[in-house]
Amino acid sequence: MNPNIIEFKKKLTTLEDQIKTDIRAINDIKQLCQAEIEYIGKNGQIATLLKELRNYSLEEKKAIGKTINLLKQEINTLFQEKSYVLEQEQLNQQLKGEETDISLPSFQLPIGTIHPLNKILEQAEDFFLGMGYSIYDGKEIVSDLYNFELMNIGKEHPARDMQDSFYLNINPQSLLRTHTSSVQIQAMLASNSQPLKIISYGNVFRRDKDDATHSHQFTQLEGFVIDQHTTLMDLKQTIIMFMQHIFGLEQKLLFRPSYFPFTNPSLEVDLIIEQKGEKDVYLEVMGAGLIHPEILKNGGFDPEIFQGFAFGIGIERITMLKYSIKDIRHFYNNDMRFLKQFGK
C-alpha cells in the first residue's frame, strides 16, 4: 500500500477522534456552531483533506473519498444531535428562570351571545327530547319526489300554486326544500315501519319577497309522530304543552280547521297576541293535522294499523312574537346592537 495512503488514513483517524472529543466537551451553542464551521464547513479541515486526494490515483481517490464522505455524514449527525441537546438544556434553564404570577388578572375575552333563533330552537329541543322525540337531519336540497310527489302534492295539485320554488338549473328534478315536511317519507322508510317520534328543523326556501314579515329563507321545525291509536287529541295536547313551554302557562291558543294536502283533518294554530275581550287578536303560528293515509302508505306504514300527526312551526314567527320583534330581517343582519339584547 502506498505509504502516503497509510499516513493519510492516520490523519483522518486522528481528526475523527479530535472532532468527537471536541463535540462532547462543548456546552455552548455558539461554540458548537464555530466547531461545525471549523471541521465540516466549506473551508474546514475535512474539506482540506479532500483537496489532498488530487495527489492519488483514481482507485485510491475512490476508496479514500468514500471513507471521508461517510465520516463527514457521521460528524454532521453528531453536530445535529449535540445542537438539539444544547437547545433543550438552554430552554430548560430559561423555563426555570421564569416565574408566572398566577395572582395577576387574566385577559377578559369577549363573550358572545346566543342568536335569538337558536335560543328558541334550544328550548324546542329541550321540550321534545324530554317527550321522547328524536332529531332527524334533513338535506336542504331535495328531490321533487320527496318535497312534493310523496307528500301528496302531485304535479297538477292546486297546492303547487301556493309556493313558488327554487329549482336547480343543473338538475330540474331537485330544488331547495320548501318545507321540512320533506323529511317525513325519508324518516318513515328508514324506520322499517316502526313507530316514530321525530323533530327536524332547518332552513326552507320560498320565492317570497323580503320585507318586515317575509323572507325567501327562513327556519322551520317539523314534528311528527306515527304509532297505533294516535289521535287528534294527542296532537292538540302536544301543541298546547309546547306553546306553553315557549310562551308560559297562561298562553291561549285557537285551533281552526284548515287544509293541507299532507294531513287530514288539518288545523291551523293561532296565538293570542292582544286581549280585547270578545275581539281578541290572534296570529297564525303553525299548521298541523293527522298524517294523510296516502303519506303513511308512501312511507311504508299500513294506515289501517298506524296513525300519525304532524306539525310545522315557523321559528322566526314565534321568536318575533316572544321577543316583540317587528322586522324579520333583524335576524339575518348580524347587527350586534340587536343580538346583544338577548343575553347569553
For 106-159, write each residue's pLDDT tens digit. Answer: 777 777 788 999 999 999 999 999 999 999 999 999 998 999 999 998 877 655
Query: From CA 291, how far away is CA 198, in angstroms rounded?
Result: 13
Question: Residue 159's pLDDT is what?
Answer: 53
- Tell whether 64 and 140 lie within a shared domain: no
234-238, 277-281, 299-303: range with lowest mean pLDDT: 277-281
Q: Is 119 exposed, middle or buried (0-12, 13-18, 19+ CB in 10 A)?
A: middle
Question: Is 103 within the bounds of a domain?
Answer: no
Q: Which helix (H) or strand (E) holds 287?
A: strand 281-291
Question: Residue 20's pLDDT is what?
Answer: 87
pLDDT tens digits, residue range 165-177? 888 888 888 899 9
Q: Record the pTM.
A: 0.66
- Tell whether 272 and 335 lie within a shared domain: yes
- Tell whether 235 and 139 lie within a shared domain: yes
> Which of 98, 124, 145 finishes a domain?
98
Return the bridge partners of 222, or none.
200, 312
Residue 277's pLDDT band (boundaries 50, 70, 90)? Answer: low
Residue 241's pLDDT band (boundaries 50, 70, 90)? Answer: very high
- Tell whether 139 and 286 lie within a shared domain: yes
Domain that holds residue 328: 116-341
> Which of 43, 70, 98 finishes a domain?
98
- The enclosing domain of 224 has a CATH number of 3.30.930.10
Work out the average pLDDT over 214-224: 95
- Tell whether 153 and 272 lie within a shared domain: yes
* Mean pLDDT of the residues in the chain: 87
- Tell whether 149 and 242 lie within a shared domain: yes
Name residue, grid cell 324579520: 328
- Tell whether 92 and 123 lie within a shared domain: no
- Tell whether 229 and 310 lie within a shared domain: yes
- Tell whether 76 and 142 lie within a shared domain: no
Question: Residue 286's pLDDT is what?
Answer: 94
> Which of 71, 98, 125 finishes a domain?
98
- Tell whether 206 and 175 lie within a shared domain: yes
Q: How many domains does the chain have?
A: 2
- Tell whether 154 and 38 lie within a shared domain: no
Share of the chain above pLDDT 90, in %: 47
Q: Is the peptide bond before 3 cis (omega within 30 degrees of 0)?
A: no
Contact in structure between 215 and 153 (CB atoms under 8 Å): no
- Tell whether 199 and 304 lie within a shared domain: yes
